[in-house]
């Protein structure tokens, strides 16, 4: 496959997944902001989200004060924010358009219709009156895109690069969602003792943000604790959005597209995968969850760079 084609497919998938995960982070913040809390606690959650997304400086340059409505606007429709939902879905469509001949008609139509529908929704007052409904729509369109891709495309290199982009992005975003809630807020400690009612809704909202509430109940059949949430979202291979599940897919798809120069990239992915596969949550908590997640984010970033170097269009010098 031409590196330029692989590049478009990879980034189409990454931008689609990034839009979904931005919607997930915003939705959990909207939900937790409704809990009884002080104004400062409320703003702390929004500030933490900007920080873990590495967008605090960009936000401060554009807005004088930190307000929930300003953060939502910045993260949803600001064209100057490359991680905004509008920017991501626009880039996903443009990358899809560039390789329209490689995609099935159904995959292209999903990407194009998503972009067209987004314009209609943003021109309405949906984001102001019911932001959670808008975020659910973003998530649904992402689910639809993945389902149509798996259901209609030949299982060749094109699909492998799409899957590779999807799961690299998902791993990054799951780590960020987990870190923003553990490092940026939450009154329960890492051992899970003495959960208050507010804590229950807080961590329940986090689980729902990654479609994990029902899964948690099936796996643990007990009270919600932060330590178990961390274990579920990091070390459970059967949890679709966990770090380990994402790395399972990354390693598998790298194997399918390997070339003469990708052995070192496969080795790095395998090392990161093994650390999760054989990791124990007690050891992770003892070492420091924030430090572990920060290290993982750095490793995923470097892995993405290696994939770009070995397979995709080289970055301009």
184-198 pLDDT, tens digit each: 554 444 444 455 666
Low-confidence ranges of the chain (pLDDT < 50): 186-193, 317
Helix (H) or strand (E) segment spanning residue 283: helix 281-287
What pLDDT score was predicted for residue 127? 86
Dihedrals φ, ψ of 209, to 5°? -65, -20
What pLDDT score was predicted for residue 184? 54
Nearest Cα to 11, choosing from 79, 65, 88? Answer: 88
Tokens of 92: 């996903």
What does the chain come to in residues? Answer: 317
Pair 229, 177: CB distance under 8 Å: no
What pLDDT score was predicted for residue 196? 63
Nearest Cα to 152, choosing from 116, 115, 109? Answer: 109
Name the pTM for this structure. Answer: 0.90
The whole-angstrom separation of Cα 98 and Cα 9 is: 9
What pLDDT score was predicted for residue 210? 87
Tokens of 6: 């692989």
Q: How large is the C-alpha radius of gyration of the chain? A: 19
The whole-angstrom separation of Cα 206 and Cα 211 is: 9
**Cα 262-267-273 angle, rounded to 5 deg:** 125
Pair 161, 102: CB distance under 8 Å: no
Q: Domain boundaries in the chain?
A: 1-153, 167-316
What pLDDT score was predicted for residue 317? 41
What pLDDT score was predicted for residue 179? 84
Tokens of 50: 């900007």
């Amino acid at each position: 496959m031409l590196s330029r084609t692989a590049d478009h497919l990879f980034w189409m998938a990454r931008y689609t997944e990034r839009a979904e995960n931005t919607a997930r982070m915003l939705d959990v913040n909207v939900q937790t902001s409704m809990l009884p809390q002080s104004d400062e606690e409320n703003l702390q959650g929004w500030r933490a989200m900007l920080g873990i997304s590495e967008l605090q400086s960009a936000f401060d340059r554009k807005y004088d004060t930190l307000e929930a409505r300003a953060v939502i606007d910045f993260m949803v429709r600001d064209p100057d924010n490359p991680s905004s939902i509008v920017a991501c879905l626009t880039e996903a469509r443009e990358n899809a358009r560039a390789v329209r001949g490689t995609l099935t008609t159904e995959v292209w139509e999903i990407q194009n219709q998503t972009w067209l529908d987004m314009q209609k929704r943003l021109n309405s007052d949906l984001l102001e009156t019911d932001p959670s409904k808008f975020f659910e729509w973003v998530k649904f369109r992402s689910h639809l895109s993945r389902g149509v891709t798996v259901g209609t495309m030949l299982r060749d290199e094109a699909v492998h690069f799409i899957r590779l982009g999807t799961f690299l992005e998902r791993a990054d975003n799951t780590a960020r969602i987990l870190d923003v809630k553990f490092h940026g807020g939450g009154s329960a400690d890492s051992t899970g003792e003495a959960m208050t009612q507010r804590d229950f809704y807080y961590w329940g909202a986090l689980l729902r943000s990654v479609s994990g509430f029902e899964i948690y109940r099936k796996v643990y059949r007990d009270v919600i604790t932060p330590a178990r949430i961390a274990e579920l979202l990091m070390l459970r291979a059967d949890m679709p959005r966990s770090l380990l599940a994402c790395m399972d897919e990354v390693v598998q798809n790298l194997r399918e597209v390997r070339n003469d120069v990708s052995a070192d990239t496969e080795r790095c992915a395998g090392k990161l995968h093994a650390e999760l596969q054989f990791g124990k949550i007690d050891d992770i908590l003892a070492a420091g969850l924030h430090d572990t997640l920060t290290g993982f984010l750095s490793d995923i970033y470097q892995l993405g760079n290696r994939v770009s170097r070995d397979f995709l269009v080289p970055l301009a010098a």
